[in-house]
Amino acid sequence: MRSDAIKKGLQRAPHRALFKAMGYTNDELSRPIIGIANSANELIPGHIHLGRIAEAVQAGVRMSGGTSMEFSTIGICDGIAMGHSGMKYSLASRELIADSIEVMASAYPFDGIVLIGNCDKIIPGMIMAALRLNIPSLFISGGPMLSGCFLGKRLDLISVFEGIGKCSSKKISEKELREIEDYACPGAGSCAGMFTANSMNCLAEALGLALPGNGTIPAVSGMRIRLAKEAGMAIMNLIEKDIKPRDIATIEGFENTIHCEMALGSSTNTVLHLLAIAKEAGIELDLAIFDRISRETPNLCRLSPAGEHHLEDLDSAGGVPAVLAELSKKGFIHKDSQTVTGKTIGENIKEKKILNLEVIRPIDNPYSDDGGIAILYGSLAPNGACVKKSAVDSKMMKHTGPARCFDSEEDAQEAILSNKIKKGDVVVIRYEGPKGGPGMREMLAPTSAIVGVGLDKDVALLTDGRFSGGTKGAAIGHISPEAAEGGPISIIQDADMIEIDIPERRLDIKLTKKEIEKRLSNLTIKKKSISGYLSRYASLVSSSHKGAVYL
């Protein structure tokens, strides 16, 4: 066993003595040792209950003859970090999480590891670590939050963000906004729509690194506790069969995952994270693969913010297995891909079917013939940009309008809430990319403000930053190269005409090539005063089209 390095033989007597100081018995030390990486904290609603999930995982490990040893990782709630400088640290925390798990699992050579997380950057950070370590590993989430309800209307966190714009434009009162605030998030779990956390929880399942049900079983359900116990038992099976993460996360596994991503209409952040996860697996994904799969994969689901359904609806409709089974009817799924169940995807989805055709459309009657995420290229995004196409109004699929340029999220937000943005405008927020932000902040506040003031069918928003999975409207992010690297987004001026053509996957600035080159040659890149971790992060991070990973 890998853990013999810290517990077996005469020379490990001091090590055993230290374990015994913590109460471990000789019998416990003779068993496989399972590391439990738990990101529980009192700062994230998706993590507030993870202590109970960890207890269930450990019960499963013990039932199957293992010894579990728990340690903690950090975690940031993107919703609470949103709209202020704290968001600069969110994406950057993904690398810290991956590094910290690598450190613990190298200093303590576990025989296997179970990763317990539930929110935006914690999930990919943990999966990146699993692939880097390549020891038997399994991810288990805390599950999605239930949607809220007030006066017969279903709510989620995005209802509150959009309520700010409605309140600012006098469409609702401050009292009504407070009532929405009180009912939108009813309890523990990752926020109820197909936002980044739930997107990644579903895609971990599609990739095969999490058990079926991981993405959709509600946080408050007894089924979630049972799934956690099954995760504890499953890790012991993976050790016995010597199945490692890189046996599962193959190129075929990633293709399955991207097909599922497009069918679900996942967050655009999943593109960043899948690129980063694949890099740890030694697999070179690029935006061209996402573009190809997007063009051929039908969009089967429209969950909030793209529609009215939430994760509990997807769960009762058959969940991710039903989506994968439907995709397999057209040959989009590699059925022989391995999973942490010890079985193949094909075996896992055998006889699975859609249980609610309003929540999961059949493959012959999709919402659209192509995927929920589109990759755009053009003179404004030579290396690519992303948009959640499934959440864009049909009126905005093609749009040409004058640029309104801002060098920070805060300046754009103030202009939107002060009614300075007019119908037809294209809001440009730059110097918010991985290097320029630094940290590539999400722009949920300005996009929600645009929706709240009633301009989401008339105004587009472009950024070298990124968007929450809760964003809807013509919000195009991940524009690469970013402004801090001298990308064309840096030379846009107010009133320049921007042309968006999502069906043709184009994003262009209507300037001659000569004028673009002239402006770029005269460009002075704006520098921000940064220090500490953000300074180190900015010096190491790559472009968004490469996943914003360390160079």
Residue 17's identity, in one-letter code, is A
**Is residue 240 within 8 Å of residue 274, measured between CB atoms?**
no
Are β-strands 148-150 and 475-480 bridged in parallel, bridged antiparallel, or unpaired?
A: unpaired
> Residue 506 — left, alpha, or beta (φ > 0 → left; ψ -120 to 50 → alpha)?
beta
Beta-bridged to residue 210, according to DSSP, are 139
Question: How many C-beta neighbours within 10 Å does residue 4 have?
Answer: 12
Beta-bridged to residue 343, according to DSSP, are none
Selecting among 3, 137, 390, 468, the annotated active-site residue is: 468
Nearest CA among 311, 315, 300, 423 for reference residue 369: 300
In sequence order, what E strands does 106-258 have? 112-117, 137-141, 148-150, 153-155
Report how far residue 118's alpha carbon sits from residue 215's, in angstroms, rounded to the nearest whole number: 10
First to last CA, the chain: 34
DSSP string, 38-95: E---SS-TTTTTHHHHHHHHHHHHHHTT-EEEEEE-----HHHHTTSGGGGGHHHHHH
Tell me the CA distances in angstroms from 146 to 182, 197, 222, 437, one per residue in order.
14, 14, 14, 33
Report the SS3 class of residue 498: strand
Structure tokens at 286: 């690029």
Residue 144's identity, in one-letter code, is P
In sequence order, what E strands does 91-189 have? 112-117, 137-141, 148-150, 153-155
Is residue 468 flagged as an active site residue?
yes
> Could you list the active site residues?
468
